[in-house]
Amino acid sequence: MKWEELKVQDAVVYRIKESPKKEEPNFKQLLLPRTQVEKALRQCHAGAVAGHFGIRKTMDPVRRRFYWSA
């Protein structure tokens, strides 16, 4: 992670990520503490429009919305 990618907005830390497609705008990923990753994954998987679509279809939106360091 590069420090210059981080932005604080309303006391919340985000990582600003460039869109892989040039015609799409950059997007913000909420920076999660490691202690909250499992909770976020469970909530995304159990959501009304998520879950039971396989790993890739669950993880793609998660990776777009959230970031945590390895």
**Greater model confidence, 14 or 48:** 14
Model pLDDT for residues 22-45, shown as the tens digit of each residue: 787 888 999 999 999 988 888 877
The whole-number pLDDT of residue 1 equals 65
Q: Output the six-digit token pair for 46.
A: 């159990």
Query: pTM, whole model, 2 decimals?
Result: 0.71
pLDDT above 90 for 70: no
Torsions phi, psi of 32, nearest 5?
A: -95, 140
**Contact predicate 29/14, CB 8 Å:** yes
Q: Output the six-digit token pair for 14.
A: 């985000």
Edge to edge, the sheet with strand 12-17 lists 6-9, 12-17, 27-31, 66-67
Q: Output the six-digit token pair for 53.
A: 């679509």
Q: How confident is the model at residue 49 (pLDDT cuts 50, 70, 90)?
A: low
The whole-number pLDDT of residue 3 equals 87
Domain layout of the chain by residue ranges: 3-67
